[in-house]
Structure 1
Amino acid sequence: MQPLAFVQLVQTELEQVEDLLAAQADGYHQDLQAALRHLLQAGGKRLRPVVALLMGRLLTAPIDRLIILAAALEMLHTATLVHDDLIDGALLRRGIPTLNARWSPAATVLTGDFLFARAAKLATDTGSLHVMDLFTRTLAVIVDGEIRQLFEGGAYTTLEQYERRIYAKTASMFELATAAAASLAGYPPDHGPYETARRYGYHIGMAFQIIDDILDYVGDSRHVGKPVGNDLRNGLITLPALYYLEEHPDDPDLRFVLEEGNLFDEARLQALVERIRSSGAIARAAEQARAHVAQALAALEALPASPEREALAELARYVTERTF
């Protein structure tokens, strides 16, 4: 398969997911309808729905319930992005103005709340109490991670702190996608296929965020959607900086980020980014992402061979090969 060819297996279902998403504001205030259209038109990879659909098909879950699950996942993800953009003061996402760039903070918060409510309704519509429980627990993990970052800052200095943050931020949602798909296929949490599916989601989610963090140093800002070095600029220490810190604990600019929580001097920032690029930190971080992908692929080996399993394997490999 070529990159993104894994989507083709579930293209028909994805189109139904898009229709379901587009209908979520029907009957509500016209500005909520306009906001939802704006958010959906911004695009996105729809990886979480794709993962859920592929895993669910592999485990023979009912397609109609999988489509609802996939829509619930994308709605939950979209809601978190709305609140994230407001918290971060981001004015663009994927090159398109964010809601908070167009609306007041109050209207943006309320729109995010509406999307959370619609995600919860969709989760309910799967007809699975366990899926509903997974959604609520995952949302609590995501919010807890954001609160920790707000109150403790983003200048983590240990791998454990970093991994906890990226699990909350990203991997928890991929884990939700695969665990919920297994649940809809009839597998309880203590059953082998459920745990296998959950592990796959966890590991590709961890790899996905590590690559995101690497792209903040080496990506093309036009494709990544934010300036290179943006994490350091805002005081966020990610895996490349952590590995660099191990080898250069006295770097004055990195020490400044750790102590002050930001680095707005552009010349110093770009010089630090270049030093991190020139070190072995990027390669080490990429190796860590590949290790997570290897564990995801190993988990898949326990599941029946099928086109869906091959697509999930290709998706896992794509995670570390992507450039945006």
Structure 2
Amino acid sequence: MNSQHNFYNLVSNEILAVEALMRQQAKNNHFDLRVALDHLIHSGGKRIRPNITLLSGKLLNGDMERVVTLSSAIELLHTATLVHDDLIDGSLLRRGIPTLNAKWSPAATVLTGDFIFAKAAKLASDTDSIPVMRLFSETLGIIVNGEFTQLFASRGIVDRDEYYQRIYAKTASLFETSTKSAAILCDASLEDTAHLTKFGYELGIAFQIVDDILDFTGKQEDIGKPVGGDLRQGLVTLPALLFIKNNPKHPYLLEHLKENCLKFTSQVETLIQDIRNSEAIEGAFQIATQHINEGLLALKKLPESIYRNALEEIAYYVIERKL
């Protein structure tokens, strides 16, 4: 995370504590597990989820030692899902850095992900909050069910509702849990918990929409995978959905999505470029912005403070980021 952001500076010491606690989870375990976890932590990442958890805790005057533990659990859960995602997708790079499955066998990669899931659950239990543990396990179930649905569902054109269900499971559910669990741990009122939950949900939806935009507009060396990677696999995201709506008779669109293959590589490249250069990109960005605005409306119902302002800054960062 770039330390120039004010929201990071407000919790920079706690983020270091989160990372230290994450590293400790591999202590006294197999050497390769320690190496793997250290590699994953050093690979960086935005640390958005622990940031919003920590800032929510500070906003609510919570016990920050427990909130740090919770934040570590959430980031480990996120890390474990990435390990398994990269294996399922066959991704060899993430943010330009080799993934575990680029280095190890599938079996070793799966076991590493399982180990990290177990340690995440252990940290969640260390918060000594049964409601937090319940929410944590429910969220893990949502994420895995979403992965299964995506893995076994037929590729091709989906409707907007299906898309939202997918990105909620994939991304927004953990953002939502990050803020909601902090509120629960800090004994927030039902109203404040609802406002923070809403903020986390909307932030997560917007985050994934921006990710889906960057899949078309980013550079391969920046995003660490081929541009249009989702569409190449027949996975339709919001920019493609908007493009389909505006260009239902595109010559390559239906053929590619129906066949779900790379039989006509030049046509796929043309389709990706057409989406990249279309109004669908701006349309998707506007929808992401709407979700950010909805989240900010909920956030503004909480007491004003530097921590609330920092959460607002994260919302703007999410919509303006290039990676």
User: Which bin holds the TM-score, normalised by the shorter protein?
Assistant: over 0.9
1:27 is paired with a residue whose SS is coil
Matched, 1:85 2:72: no
Give the equivalent residue in structure 2 for 1:7: 8
2:10 is paired with a residue whose SS is helix
For structure 1, the residue ranges without an aligned partner over 5 or more in a row are none
Give the equivalent residue in structure 1 for 2:229: 230
The amino acid of 1:254's aligned partner reads L
Kept in 1, the 8 Å contact 2:26–2:37? The answer is: yes
Mapping of residues 192-271 of structure 1, within 5 Å: 192-263=191-262, 265-271=264-270
Matched, 1:115 2:107: no
2:123 is paired with a residue whose SS is helix
Mapping of residues 277-296 of structure 1, within 5 Å: 277-296=276-295
Give the equivalent residue in structure 2 for 1:187: 188
Kept in 2, the 8 Å contact 1:243–1:285? The answer is: yes
If the length of structure 1 is used for normalisation, what is the TM-score? Answer: 0.96
Kept in 2, the 8 Å contact 1:232–1:257? The answer is: no
Mapping of residues 68-83 of structure 1, within 5 Å: 68-83=69-84
| Cα gap change, 1:133 to 1:258, in 2 (>3 Å) | same
The amino acid of 1:68's aligned partner reads T
Matched, 1:139 2:140: yes
Give the equivalent residue in structure 1 for 2:30: 29
Kept in 2, the 8 Å contact 1:235–1:263? The answer is: no
Deviation per CA, 1:170-207: give whole Å up to 9, x if none. Answer: 0001001000000011136xx10011010000000000
Deviation at 1:264, TM superposition (A): 5.8
Deviation at 1:3, TM superposition (A): 6.8
For 1:53 and 1:312, how far apart are their aligned partners in 2? 10
1:252 is paired with a residue whose SS is coil
| Cα gap change, 1:151 to 1:278, in 2 (>3 Å) | same
2:179 is paired with a residue whose SS is helix
| Cα gap change, 1:12 to 1:154, in 2 (>3 Å) | farther
If the length of structure 2 is used for normalisation, what is the TM-score? Answer: 0.96
Deviation per CA, 1:240-285: give whole Å up to 9, x if none. Answer: 0001111112223221232122336442222112211232111110
The amino acid of 1:54's aligned partner reads L
For 2:156 and 2:129, how far apart are their aligned partners in 1? 39
| Cα gap change, 1:264 to 1:197, in 2 (>3 Å) | farther
Kept in 2, the 8 Å contact 1:204–1:292? The answer is: yes
RMSD (Å), alpha carbons: 1.3
For 1:314 and 1:125, how far apart are their aligned partners in 2? 30
Kept in 1, the 8 Å contact 2:175–2:204? The answer is: yes
Give the equivalent residue in structure 2 for 1:170: 171
For 1:296 and 1:37, how far apart are their aligned partners in 2? 34
1:45 is paired with a residue whose SS is coil
Give the equivalent residue in structure 1 for 2:301: 302
For 2:4 and 2:282, how far apart are their aligned partners in 1? 22
For 1:236 and 1:288, how far apart are their aligned partners in 2? 19
For 2:263 and 2:298, how far apart are their aligned partners in 1? 43
For 2:294 and 2:75, how far apart are their aligned partners in 1? 25
The amino acid of 2:132's aligned partner reads V
Deviation at 1:210, TM superposition (A): 0.2
Deviation per CA, 1:5-45: give whole Å up to 9, x if none. Answer: 21110001111111101111001111111111111111111
For 2:8 and 2:156, how far apart are their aligned partners in 1? 37
| Cα gap change, 1:195 to 1:154, in 2 (>3 Å) | farther
- Equivalent pairs counted in the alignment come to 321
Identity %: 51
- Give the ranges of 4+ consecutive aligned residues of structure 1 lying more than 3 Å apart after TM superposition: 262-266
For structure 2, the residue ranges without an aligned partner over 5 or more in a row are none
Mapping of residues 32-47 of structure 1, within 5 Å: 32-47=33-48
Kept in 1, the 8 Å contact 2:256–2:268? The answer is: no
For 2:203 and 2:165, how far apart are their aligned partners in 1? 15
The amino acid of 2:267's aligned partner reads R
Deviation at 1:154, TM superposition (A): 4.1
Give the equivalent residue in structure 2 for 1:125: 126
Kept in 1, the 8 Å contact 2:205–2:288? The answer is: yes
For 1:278 and 1:18, how far apart are their aligned partners in 2? 40
The amino acid of 2:117's aligned partner reads F
For 2:176 and 2:235, how far apart are their aligned partners in 1? 24
Give the equivalent residue in structure 2 for 1:160: 161
| Cα gap change, 1:156 to 1:199, in 2 (>3 Å) | farther
